[in-house]
Amino acid sequence: MFKKINLWHILLILIVLSAIVPILFMVSNSFKTLRDSYGTMLNLIPTHPTIKNYLLLNKQVNLLGLTWNTFLMATIVTIGKLLTGLLTAYAFRTYQFKGKMFIYLLFVATIFVPFTIVMIPNYLVISKLNLLNNIWGVALPQLCDATGIMIFLKTMEKIPNTLIDAAKIDDIPKRKIFFNIVIPILKPSIVSVGAIFFINSWNEYVWPTLILKDKASFTLPLALQNYISSEGGTNFPLAMALSTIMVILPLIIYLIFQKYILNSISNSGLK
Amino acid sequence: MHNKNKKILPFLYLLPTAILLIVFMIIPIIYTFYLSFFDWNLIAPTKEFVGLRNYIEVFTNPVNQKVILNTLIYIFFLIVLNFLVPYFISLIVKFFIKKMQGAYKVLFFIPSLFSLVVGAMLFTWILNPVSGPIAYVMKNLGMTMPNWSNSGILAITVICFITNWKVFGYNFILLLTGLGSIPTNIIDAAKIDGIPKWRLIWNVILPMNRGIGIYVLILTIVQGLQYVFTPINVITTGGPYYGSSNMIYQTYLNAFVLYKTGTSSALAIVTFVVFLVLLFIEIRFVEGKAKKYV
Amino acid sequence: MNKSNATIELKNISKQFKKNTIIDGMDLSVKAGEFLVLLGPSGCGKSTTLRMIAGLEEPTSGQVMIDNRDLRELKNDGHTIAMVFQDYALYPNMTVYQNLEYALKIHKVAKDERQKRIENVLETLNLTKYRDRLPSQLSGGQKQRVAVGRGMVKKSEIFLLDEPLSNIDVQLREKARDEIQNLHATNQQTIVYVTHDQLEAMALGDRIAVMDQGIIQMIDVPENIYNNPANLFVAEFIGTPQINVIEVEYKDSNVLFNNKSILADQNLNLKEQKYRLGIRPENLFCSKERQNSQDLELTVENIIDYGRFVQLSLVNDEGLTLKSIVNTFEFNVNEKVFVHLKKATSLLFDYEIGKNLNWGNYE
């Protein structure tokens, strides 16, 4: 019995290692010289640690600008999705109206819409709006996502009806109910959903690829793409330095809100 | 006044979402459907009506046929790597170990935080046939590493592994949560009846968890096919000779590289129809599931 | 079916959860074919005890013996022990019939035998009509019967039941209780039955083990549990309304309350000190006139008419509150009542630890 349990742990720890070790090598290599990155490939601790890669990277690309662009896009998307999601979920929770079920299924359906089917028209709309190479232009199509609505709906379902009824009997206006009762109860899920939105948008690749062509408007994933080539001619220490910069913020957010984030993800799947 | 407010207010709340959905989803879907009957190049002032020709091309053009076949191969790999493996591991963590369940959850999830571009970069390094660490170890063992980017099927495998690296923890958590909602008393009852664990899992646990199982399975296909877009575009751009392209990537290539919006739109519509079938299954089994076991 | 031969014995069992002691050095032996009830308030460790007998929890120390063999060495063939859970734990994806059949099928009981047993149990429990229903299509009472049935078809030597009646309607509970009693009468299995309901315990148990704070406070036949509780906890836990407890002092062959004698006995072998006197409400003898100089004088504060009997709440200005059960309607609120106590129907407990002192007689 005891031995068997240990065997499963070996398998699980192997999975953990395959998830984590590549990231450790990424950080390690970003502090290695190009020659060390080939010569002492399997050393996790750099033999001649250096920050040259970061300095060189900063010369080749506008690191601050890239980070700012990415941050701005992710912030706009996060705030936009939180606001629309909360309002919609609240309307669903408190009002009865015709076509509710239909609209709900429409939200479910958005998960099944491949981006390829909206890709061309959205590109045309953004270019008509003169928003190509613009952070707003790359943020707008990302706002169209119902997953936030679904998570908020599920959390709001847990608010007891009697609580809302009690507020109604006390004749508190609905607007106040929303801001003084619903929002505070939802706070943990707002934080975690916000964190998930931010991280997803920070990593977003598809829409930036379509909308951002001018290097000055690039986000971090697009910049990183330029450092990768399948032929093997890549300067990996540089690419890894840029990747390391890219993963810091999501990692910090995860470290702070880890428990909430995992809870929200669990809830998003529970039907 | 008050009454009027009551009727308008919910729609006011719904308005921002409605505008976004209509402008960036519903109208575009209709427009893409419209474009699928025309020959156009994204720039020209006129479009030529061609009827069903774009659709016929989707199914008759050898490149597209290859891409459809690739899509099926992708689906197979995605189901195995991103659904069956996480499901198996979640069963292990739930029923076969007692300690560290929380730690595994936290650690498995970490790669989900990172961009697929980072994943693509890491795996091109690890699997670099000349200078990567695996090639290095193999060389020391007297073996040579195949140049996987020259083979469609190997490239597809690598690309699926990259998405697996990112998605594994996410799907694992969804499935584990589903298993966690199964009452422990049922598991205890089976223990007393001396029912072997795997029998119990097969006969009771999996049927009980069917709703979430199907949800994650469908998500794996629908999102997986879109997730692989990133590593394809970053690493292989669909090559060698469309060997690692799938319907999603081919749609993109046709629109923004080959400037054939007609073929692109027809491909998109076909993909969407397939997804809609999956959506129908999801609604049938998942959204309606709650009633059955209460 | 023959009387079960299986005995259960717990030897110095302790169970800790994260440094909290749930069970503390418990010894318990259940005779073959006995119906033993574990009774106690929630959190007293009775369910944990049952789960350790079932092998679902490992004791932190001590031994569980089934038929004089260590439970850990017994192979779980799904035949020795059957258990019914509080929320039934039916397999939700299987019909009633499949629920009963599942364990038998896994353990390769022949098909004919299986069918015979299941039909039999369905018949006994009045479930034949529902054989093809899923648990979600059954009422609470029906689910409970299926859960019992699932245990019955195994024809196990030992049958464990964890509060099986607590989730069904009061009206159905008595019927279900009778059913379980009949089952035991016919099948003679060794049964351990957990409940917090004293009426259930009194009605069902051959013996009752009253538990509190991880310790068996008393184990005996129902009659003794009620009439001669081992300590104050048992006395107070069993019986509604609760037993009356009066702080008294023993001095010069007299039991004194507030320095006035309320009972006298020359032949007591007791130290002169404080005690607690327990009197069941039906053993307070009330009358409208003083009969004896030792009678307590109280006033009727309120009267509750339960139909079959009347409950009086009596108070006096010395801070005493007593509950009395009488069969007459002669008393009125705010009237004086004189209460007479008899030694034979009163219990004397140690002041500090609450042990029943048997009026100083130790056998």
Inter-chain touch B98–A88, beta carbons under 8 Å: no
Nearest to C197 by CA among C6, C39, C47, C29: C39
Q: In whole angstroms, what is the distance from residue C352 CA to residue C354 CA?
A: 6
Measured between beta carbons, the chain B residues lying within 8 angstroms of A97 are: 10-11
Whether A20 and A45 map to the same domain: the answer is yes
Q: B9 at the A interface (CB within 8 A)?
A: yes
Given C51, C91, C107, which is nearest B194 (Cβ)?
C107
Q: CATH number for the domain including A104? A: 1.10.3720.10
DSSP per-residue string spanning C209-246: EEEETTEEEEEE-HHHHHHS-SBHHHHHHSSSSPPEEE
Chain C positions touching B205 (Cβ under 8 A) are none
Q: How confident is the model at residue B1 (pLDDT cuts 50, 70, 90)?
A: very low
- Across all residues in chain C, what is the average pLDDT? 88
- pLDDT, one tens digit per residue, over C106-142 is 888 899 999 999 998 998 888 999 999 999 999 888 9
Residue B167: give the domain boundaries.
Answer: 62-293
When pLDDT is cut at 50, 70 and 90, the band that residue B3 belongs to is: low
Residues A30 and A117 in one domain: no
Measured in angstroms, the CA of C271 and the nearest CA of chain B are apart by 53
- HSE value, Cβ hemisphere, 13 Å, CA-based, for A169: 6
Contact list, B211 vs chain C (CB under 8 Å): none
Are residues B235 and A85, on separate chains, in Cβ contact within 8 Å?
no
Q: Give yes or no for residue A241 having a pLDDT over 70.
A: yes
What is d(CA C99, CA C155) in angstroms, rounded to the nearest whole number?
15
Q: Residue range A143-163: average pLDDT?
A: 84
pLDDT, position A36: 80
Residues of A in contact with B213 (CB under 8 A): none
Distance between CA atoms of residues C288 and B127, nearest Å: 100
pLDDT of the residue at C192: 95
d(CA B85, CA B101): 17
Both A76 and A23 in a single domain? no
Is residue B19 a part of any domain in this protein? no
* Residues A104, A191 within the same domain: yes
Contact B186 C89 (CB under 8 A): yes
**DSSP output for C144-210:** HHHHHHHHHTTT-SEEEEESTTTTS-HHHHHHHHHHHHHHHHHH--EEEEEES-HHHHHHH-SEEEE
What SS3 state is found at C126? Answer: coil
Q: Taking CB atoms and an 8 Å cutoff, what residues of chain B touch A262?
A: 105-106, 109, 173
* Residue B199 with chain C: CB contacts under 8 Å: 106
Name residue C350's beta-bridge partners. Answer: C275
- The answer to whether the Cβ–Cβ distance between B188 and C89 falls below 8 Å is yes
pLDDT tops 50 at residue B269:
yes
**Gap between the Cα atoms of A212 and A142, Å rounded:** 14
- Closest in C81, C106, C136 to B192, CB measured: C81
C-beta separation of B141 from B171 below 8 A: no
Mean pLDDT of B224-240: 89
Could you report the per-residue pLDDT of B23-76, keeping only the tens digit for each?
999 999 999 999 999 989 888 888 888 889 889 988 999 999 999 999 999 999
How many domains does chain A divide into? Answer: 2
**pLDDT tier at B291, thresholds 50, 70, 90:** very low
pLDDT at C275 over 80: yes
Quick check: do C and B touch, 3+ CB pairs under 8 A?
A: yes
Domain count, chain B: 1
What are the structure tokens assigned to C19, written together?
A: 């440094």
* B128 shares contact with chain A (CB less than 8 Å): yes
In the predicted model, is pLDDT for residue C79 greater than 80? no
- Whether B93 is in a domain gets the answer yes
Confirm if B208 and C92 have CB atoms less than 8 A apart. yes
pLDDT value at A51 more than 80: yes
Beta carbons of C55 and B191 less than 8 Å apart: yes
Q: Tell me, yes or no, whether A7 and A77 share the same domain.
A: no
Residue B4 CB coordination number (10 Å)? 8
CA distance B273 to B253: 20
Distance from CA of C107 to the nearest CA of B (A): 8
Chain B residue closest in CA terms to A81: B17
Residues A197 and A235 in one domain: yes
* Mean pLDDT across C228-254: 90
Instruction: Using CB atoms, pick whichever of C79, C85, C93 lies closest to residue B189.
Output: C85
Given a contact as 3+ CB pairs under 8 Å, which chains touch A? B
Question: Tens of pLDDT along B80-109?
Answer: 999 999 999 999 999 888 888 889 999 999
Residues A162 and A194 placed together within one structural domain of the fold? yes
Q: Rounded to whole angstroms, what are the CA distances from C90 to A87, B115, B205, C116, C140? A: 41, 45, 12, 21, 12
> Is B22 within the bounds of a domain?
no
Q: Does C76 touch chain B (CB under 8 A)?
A: yes
Look up the ipTM and state it: 0.89
Q: Note whether B185 and B151 are within 8 A (CB).
A: no
SS3 assignment, position B41: coil
Mean pLDDT, rounded, for C261-284: 85
> What does the mean pLDDT of chain B come to?
88
Asked if residue B293 has pLDDT above 50, the reply is no
Interface touch B292/C136, C-beta < 8 Å: yes
Q: Say which of B9, B92, B268 has its CB closest to residue A116.
A: B268
Nearest to A116, CA basis, from B24, B265, B54: B265
Q: What is the mean pLDDT of residues A136-149?
A: 89
- pLDDT tens, C182-214? 889 988 899 999 999 998 999 999 999 999 988
Residue C1 pLDDT more than 80? Answer: no
Instruction: Write down the pLDDT at residue C256.
Output: 86
Give the pLDDT confidence of C51-61 residue by residue, as tens digits: 999 888 889 99
Query: Domain residues for A252?
Result: 62-269
Q: How confident is the model at residue B290 (pLDDT cuts 50, 70, 90)?
A: very low
Domain ranges of chain C: 8-237, 244-360
Same-domain check for residues A167 and A125: yes
Instruction: In whole angstroms, give the CA distance from residue C60 to residue A179.
Output: 51
pLDDT tens profile A157-200 = 878 878 877 877 877 777 777 778 778 888 888 998 999 999 99
Report the C-alpha gap between C30 and A87 in whole angstroms.
62
Chains C and A touch (3+ CB pairs under 8 A): no
Whether A99 contacts B11, CB under 8 Å: no
How confident is the model at residue B143, as a pLDDT?
85
What is the average pLDDT across A219-224?
91
Return the pLDDT at B5.
61
Q: What is the CA radius of gyration of chain C?
A: 25
Give pLDDT, residue A270. Answer: 47
Please tell me whether residues A122 and A222 are part of one structural domain.
yes
Q: Which fold has domain C8-237?
A: Rossmann fold (3.40.50)
Contacts of A141 in chain B (CB under 8 A): 24
Q: How confident is the model at residue B294 (pLDDT cuts 50, 70, 90)?
A: very low
A55: in domain? no
Does residue A166 fall inside a structural domain? yes
CATH number of the domain bearing residue B243: 1.10.3720.10
A124 and A212 both lie in a single domain = yes
Residue B74 lies in a domain: yes
CB distance A88 to B17 below 8 Å: yes
The reply to whether A86 and A198 lie within a common domain is yes
Q: Are A152 and A192 in contact (CB under 8 A)?
A: no
Residues of B in contact with C89 (CB under 8 A): 183, 185-186, 188-189
**Residue A170 C-alpha from the chain's centroid:** 40
Q: A16: Cβ–Cβ under 8 A, 6 or more apart, which residues?
A: B104, B107, B108
How far is B240 from chain C, CA to nearest CA, in Å?
A: 48
Pick the CATH number of C244-360 from 3.90.78.10, 3.40.640.10, 2.40.50.140, 2.60.40.1120: 2.40.50.140
Contact between residue C351 and residue C260 where contact means Cβ atoms under 8 Å apart:
no
Residue A68 sits in the same domain as residue A21: no
Indicate whether A57 belongs to any domain: no
Residue C301: what are its φ and ψ, rounded to 5°?
A: -90, -45
Q: Alpha-carbon distance C176 to C169, whole Å?
A: 10
Query: Residue C119 and residue C104: Cα distance in Å, rounded?
Result: 13
**Interface touch B199/C106, C-beta < 8 Å:** yes
